[in-house]
Amino acid sequence: MSNTTDKMGSIADPNCVAPNSSTTKDRGLALLKYVLIGTVFGIVFVKAEIISWFRIQEMFRLQSFHMFGVIGSAIVTGIISIQLIKRFNIKSIQGEAIVIPTKEFKIGQVIGGFIFGLGWAITGACPGPLFAQIGSGYTVVLVTLVAALAGTWVYGRFEKYFPN
Amino acid sequence: MNQFIGWISQSWPWYVAGPMIGLTVPALLILGNKAFGISSSLRHICAACIPAGIPFFTYDWKKEIWNLLFVLGTAVGGFIAMNFLANPETIVIADATQEDLKALGLTNFSDLMPLEIFNWDIAFTGKGILFFVIGGFLVGFGTRYAGGCTSGHAIMGISSLQWPSLVATIFFMVGGFFMTHVLLAPLMRLVGF
């Protein structure tokens, strides 16, 4: 969860982990870079078999190191990158100071996290791999995507009834 | 060129894939001051398509269009990898996992996905309801309640050394272990495996 005040005030509730901290609006071709980063990300997901339902089962059965290696080394790379950005005060290419959203502890991270984990072990996919699975030709995962949208919507609709 | 394609068509080891995924964090920060997170895309799609006057979905989703373009790219990447860089070798699944899954009634271990589950023929049967509808619903509901998924919490959150994200990640794993070791076998029996 983020308690970062969104400068543009566009998200009514800051309960969003990927807030847009940029004050510069990307237009036209500038938006293409997000498609490209996503494309590389999707290729990695398939080539390292992260989209595989079997790899997720191996992980939860502690029968392969692969997924732990992927997640662990991704985190280490992320930690080093963010430390470098902070240490050298690196700015975004738009010249803005880089904002790292603050995550505030809420009980939802425990309850919601557990619920997501249940779903992750059934579908063999967290949200990123869902999109990569569909693109790879496992079109039946569209049903999973629609169900995930329904889950997101139901959470949003009844948000006030869930402790957080 | 063909040699290069042949070389990258093998399956990639974790120490190549993990750092590449980790580099998504600084790439998004430096190229657009954007925090890495994928489950937010599900919220933006709800906000764009069926906001229904719900406060949680009433915001300017167009400002977050980058996130939707990112997941569009992820699907495109999946398409490219599968159609142009496909691994000619069969996936190698740990023997112990194959044994465990055989006991649950799966027999086909030749593809990235168990084809007995991931096909349209079972989509609207009990099996499909478990693996796609219930599974997907739990993913969408859980990630939003937790405020993020593996990317937003496990990678972005822990990378920026925030303990709430570590808590979230621990509970992702607890949920996954509980489903795999306790609930999955009876649920699969229930739907006819």
Q: Kindly give the confidence (pLDDT) of every residue in chain A, 164 residues in length, as a single tens digit, with 9 standing for 90 and above.
A: 343 433 333 443 444 556 677 777 777 888 999 999 999 999 999 999 999 999 999 999 999 999 999 999 999 999 999 999 999 999 999 999 999 999 999 999 999 999 999 999 999 999 999 999 999 999 999 999 999 999 999 999 999 999 98
A143: contact with B, CB 8 A cutoff = yes
A29: contact with B, CB 8 A cutoff = no
| Residue of B104, B110, B143 to mutate for A, most A C-beta atoms under 10 A | B143
Assigned token pair, B137 = 């619903």
A14: contact with B, CB 8 A cutoff = no
The pTM of the full predicted model, rounded to 2 decimals, is: 0.93
What does the pLDDT average to over B182-190? 98
What does the pLDDT average to over B51-59? 95
Q: What 8-state DSSP symbol labels residue A14? A: -
User: B8 vs B145, which has greater pLDDT?
Assistant: B145
Quote the pLDDT of residue A23: 73
A81: contact with B, CB 8 A cutoff = yes
Burial B155-183 (b: 16+ CB within 10 A, else e): bbbbbbebebbbbbbbbbbebbbbbbeee
Q: Chain B residue with minimal CA distance to A148?
A: B140
Q: Which of B150, A43, B186, A116 is nearest to B158 (CA)?
A: B150
At B7, the pLDDT band (50, 70, 90 cuts) reads confident
| Per-residue 3-state assignment (H helix, E strand, C coil) for chain B | CHHHHHHHCCCCCHHHHHHHHHCHHHHHHHHHCECCCCCHHHHHHHHHHCCCCCHHHCCCHHHHHHHHHHHHHHHHHHHHHHHHCCCCCCCCCCHHHHHHHHHCCCCCCCCCCCCCCCCHHHCCCHHHHHHHHHHHHHHHHHHHHHCCCHHHHHHHHHHCCCHHHHHHHHHHHHHHHHHHHHHHHHHHHHCCC
B31: contact with A, CB 8 A cutoff = yes
CB contact under 8 A, B161 and A162: no
Question: How close is the nearest chain A Cα to the Cα of B2, in Å?
Answer: 17
* Average pLDDT in chain B: 96
| Residue of B7, B33, B183 to mutate for A, most A C-beta atoms under 10 A | B33
Does the pLDDT of residue B139 top 90, yes or no? yes
Query: ipTM of this model?
Result: 0.96
Burial A63-91 (b: 16+ CB within 10 A, else e): bbebbebbbbbbbebbbebbeebeeeeee
Does the pLDDT of residue B175 top 70, yes or no? yes
Quote the pLDDT of residue A18: 60
